[in-house]
Structure 1
Amino acid sequence: MLREYLQALLFIFIAEMGDKTQILAMMFATKYKMSQVLLGVLIGSFLNHGVAVLFGSLIGGMIPANVLQIIAGSAFIFFALWSLKEDDDEDEEEGVRKLGPVFTVAAAFFIGELGDKTQLTAITLSVDAAHPFVILLGTVSGMLLTSGVGIIVGSKIGDKIPELFMKFIAYGLFLVFGSMKLYTSLPEHYINIFSVSGFIVFIVICSAFLIKPIIDKKKKGEKSSYQKAAMTLHDYMNQMKSNFDNICLGENKCGHCEGQNCLVGYTKDMIKEGIEQGTITNPIETDSREVWAKKAFDHAKIVDSLKFTLKYLMDNYKDLQKRDMSNAIRNSLEMALFEETLEFHGDINMYLEHIKEKNPFIMEELRKSL
């Protein structure tokens, strides 16, 4: 019984490390309390995996044991390759936010796991299990543990975790267990140098095909979903606070500090409000420029800050709070560069065309990094 529980927990824990549902937990943790997120994970996973375990238990008694082992081994090989698949951006939480924190998370996890490899893993583990309910407890525990690790550790060092490393752990575990099951379950006359060589070639080709998009993305400097989720709004605002400290040239070059009457000073107060209250009540407006004293700024650092802000804005455009606050910072940077604010509706190419009209050189600098 304990072996089945630990086996189920381990498989789900490894399979979900760096997967979309762990990233989803990290994202929810930036909006809701950790206890609410984990309770939602518990409810959603219990319902989803409960259906899977029930199904696995029902079909388990209808299929010979040796055939079940071959099916399980083949399924694990499939899960190994699936672990290398690049996750697309997930929108499961869209449309369920009105349910409240716990049920929003539960609904997102239930929907997100439908047909996913963890639900199929739960089915595979339960088809020949002596205690199906123990399998269910193990899979749900694995989901809770993975989500907890994602929230606690991922938010602190998630941007430093290599995506390929996370995927290879799951890939290796499923591949080894799947290969062992097939080796011990298939008739001896199927195990020969030709079949083994063909199997290895098949795995190598499929693995290379699945890894290529991740490597290409890394070469382009794109962040993984795990890295994007690791940067919270609070991290971004603190980074921008540091950036604006550097944009200011200091009184020895700029003259007496004007505080709120300086664009940099005004924006620093705006960022402070965003950090403390989670909202910005007084965003930059073009009409406000008349009250600001004419000051010199480090334009290269302003452009660098605009690059950083645009990347964050594009990564989090569907999150209304992050979008509003990063847009407020973006407008401030535009005011410093062009003495006016520009519109941005999610189309980066159209935005860059607006920049080109103001300053082609700045547009080229931005395009290089986006």
Structure 2
Amino acid sequence: MEAFLVSTGIVALAEMGDKTQLLSLVLAARFRRPWPIIAGIFVATVFNHAAAGALGAWITNLAGPDVMRWVLGISFLAMAVWTLIPDKLDDEDTKAPRLGVFGATVVAFFLAEMGDKTQIATVALAARYDAIVGVVLGTTLGMMLANAPVVLLGDKVTKKVPIRVIHVIAAAIFAVLGVVALISG
């Protein structure tokens, strides 16, 4: 349960102001059909984070506990710094193939999430916790908590949420996890 709750909270906070959240806003403005967009975000996130979680579990099995402690500690500290750097949406992330609203969202969101901080966080969380299902469910819920309101409410949400404060909180959580990983052992 801890893996699920920590994963949900970290990803929901880390996603605020992230390029995939900006992509959600662009898709909502472009297509004006929120439910296929939300469904597409969900499907893309499940596949992306399941792959990331599997990678994290594989890395855990490959490396010994001492190596993993250092890798995780440094990874979480790096995530803390990365979270403080605002994302910008690339023009290529807004181009949608002719697959309909749902298909365009799945493709765009899956590709935008590749190598993104929430995907890297999923790898690290899956490596940290021996609960891949809990991590993937949690990170997916975190993505949905951050992106569904943006799709449904559009720029009303982004104007009222203090993005910088949320980034600092998320960075602090990553930093605490990094320090705890480095000193535990």
Normalised by the length of structure 1, the TM-score is 0.47
Match of 1:17 in 2: 16
Inter-CA distance 95–17: structure 2 relative to 1 (3 Å threshold): closer
Query: What is the Cα deviation at residue 138 of structure 1?
Result: 1.3
Separation in 2, partners of 1:160, 1:10: 20
5 Å-filtered alignment, 1:189-200, equals: none
Secondary structure, aligned partner of 2:77: helix
5 Å-filtered alignment, 1:91-170, equals: 91-152=91-152, 155-170=155-170
Query: What is the Cα deviation at residue 154 of structure 1?
Result: 5.3
Inter-CA distance 92–36: structure 2 relative to 1 (3 Å threshold): farther
Match of 2:172 in 1: 172
5 Å-filtered alignment, 1:353-368, equals: none
What RMSD in Å do the two structures reach over aligned CA positions? 1.9
Separation in 1, partners of 2:160, 2:59: 43
Q: Structure 1, residues 197-233: CA drift from partner, whole Å, max 9, x if none? A: xxxxxxxxxxxxxxxxxxxxxxxxxxxxxxxxxxxxx
Query: What is the Cα deviation at residue 91 of structure 1?
Result: 2.5
Inter-CA distance 143–92: structure 2 relative to 1 (3 Å threshold): farther
Inter-CA distance 144–161: structure 2 relative to 1 (3 Å threshold): closer
| Contact 1:17–1:170 under 8 Å retained in 2 | no
Inter-CA distance 153–180: structure 2 relative to 1 (3 Å threshold): farther
| Contact 1:65–1:128 under 8 Å retained in 2 | no
Separation in 1, partners of 2:154, 2:177: 27
Separation in 2, partners of 1:150, 1:175: 27
Q: Which structure has the highest helix share of the two?
A: 2
Q: Structure 1, residues 128-150: CA drift from partner, whole Å, max 9, x if none? A: 43221221111111111110233
Separation in 1, partners of 2:151, 2:183: 38
Stretches of structure 2 that go unaligned for 5 or more consecutive residues are: none
Separation in 2, partners of 1:181, 1:89: 32
Q: Structure 1, residues 270-297: CA drift from partner, whole Å, max 9, x if none? A: xxxxxxxxxxxxxxxxxxxxxxxxxxxx
Match of 1:89 in 2: 89
Inter-CA distance 37–96: structure 2 relative to 1 (3 Å threshold): same
Match of 1:307 in 2: none
Bigger-Rg structure (1/2): 1
Inter-CA distance 157–59: structure 2 relative to 1 (3 Å threshold): closer
Match of 2:51 in 1: 51
Separation in 2, partners of 1:162, 1:142: 18
Separation in 2, partners of 1:163, 1:140: 20
Secondary structure, aligned partner of 1:39: helix
Inter-CA distance 175–141: structure 2 relative to 1 (3 Å threshold): same
Q: Structure 1, residues 329-349: CA drift from partner, whole Å, max 9, x if none? A: xxxxxxxxxxxxxxxxxxxxx
Separation in 1, partners of 2:83, 2:23: 17
| Contact 1:93–1:104 under 8 Å retained in 2 | no
Separation in 2, partners of 1:21, 1:166: 16
Match of 2:73 in 1: 73
AA matched with 1:137 = L
How many residues matched? 184
